[in-house]
């Protein structure tokens, strides 16, 4: 099935997609299209037509347009000279490159943030991480809010606004890999976040760099495993 195909086919979207987990029609359209791009059901170079996608998903064109805008911002969809959006030729290598850049920047930020993160701010971040761990079934939105809080707090504490802004942009381009797709990372990821904050508060920059690097390596490995699994399925 492809959402760019005939109307009424949306029912066979990958079983991992649960409509109850998305918070808007735009998210629904985004997730449907994204799943099919990663699975190969929508091939690179395919033109994505708003009307046909809206009909296939039984929704209006507005949320489809918003979803395509998000995919374009993440470089998974491209368009030139006002033409219709087209699925980009994006492979595992592209995401590995983004994650490699994140590692370069965020590892250094962790070192520079050491000794510059206030106790009250650290306590607030730890409280949010623990609250997430206490939830029986946190939503992807709740998970990502805490993930943003941890990584952006560290980036800001490093003291370079340009680097912090770059990290935010790179994180946005890997935001699609939330716990809807890599569920196994929720608890380990949160535990690693606690270790990151503890390392930064310990006053040891080398330890902070080590813990951040290990965390990002684990994120990279989970994303690669997901992408390769989607291609095989």
pLDDT in tens, 155-178: 999 999 999 999 998 887 777 665
SS3 77: strand
- What average pLDDT does the chain have? 83
Question: How buried is 84 (Cβ within 10 angstroms: 0-12 exposed, 13-18 middle, 19+ buried)?
Answer: exposed
- What are the φ and ψ backbone dihedral angles of 78, each rounded to 5 degrees? -130, 155
Sequence-distant (6+) residues with CB within 8 A of 150 are: 125, 129, 193, 196, 197
Sketch the domain layout of the chain as residue ranges: 10-87, 92-232
Q: What is the pLDDT of residue 41?
A: 79
34-72 per-position pLDDT tens digit: 878 766 678 888 999 999 999 999 999 999 999 999 888
Q: How many other C-beta atoms are found inside a 10 Å radius of the C-beta of residue 230? A: 18
Q: What is the chain's length?
A: 233
Q: What is the pLDDT of residue 23?
A: 46
Identify the CATH homologous superfamily for domain 92-232. Answer: GntR ligand-binding domain-like (1.20.120.530)
Sequence-distant (6+) residues with CB within 8 A of 18 are: none
- What are the φ and ψ backbone dihedral angles of 77, each rounded to 5 degrees? -130, 140
Q: What is the band of 24 on the pLDDT scale with cuts at 50, 70, 90?
A: confident
Residue 108 pLDDT more than 70?
Answer: yes
The class (CATH top level) of 10-87 is mainly alpha
| Over residues 63-92, mean pLDDT | 83
Residue 127 pLDDT more than 80?
Answer: yes
């Amino acid at each position: 099935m492809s959402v760019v195909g005939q109307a009424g086919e949306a029912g066979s979207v990958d079983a991992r997609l649960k409509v109850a987990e998305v918070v808007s029609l735009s998210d629904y359209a985004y997730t449907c299209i994204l799943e099919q791009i990663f699975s190969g059901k929508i091939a690179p170079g395919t033109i994505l037509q708003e009307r046909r996608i809206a009909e296939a998903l039984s929704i209006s064109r507005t949320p489809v347009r918003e979803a395509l805008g998000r995919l374009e911002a993440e470089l998974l969809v491209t368009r030139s000279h006002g033409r219709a959006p087209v699925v980009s030729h994006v492979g595992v290598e592209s995401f590995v490159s983004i994650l490699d850049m994140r590692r370069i920047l965020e590892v250094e930020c962790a070192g520079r943030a050491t000794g510059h993160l206030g106790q009250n701010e650290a306590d607030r971040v730890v409280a949010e991480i623990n609250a997430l761990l206490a939830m029986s079934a946190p939503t992807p939105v709740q998970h990502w809010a805490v993930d943003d809080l941890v990584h952006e707090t560290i980036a800001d504490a490093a003291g370079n606004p340009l680097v912090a802004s770059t990290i935010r942009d790179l994180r946005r381009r890997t935001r699609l890999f939330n716990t809807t797709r890599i569920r196994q990372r929720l608890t380990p990821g949160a535990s690693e976040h606690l270790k990151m904050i503890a390392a930064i508060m310990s006053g040891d920059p080398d330890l902070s760099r080590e813990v951040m690097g290990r965390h990002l390596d684990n994120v990279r490995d989970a994303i690669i495993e997901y992408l390769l699994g989607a291609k095989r399925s």
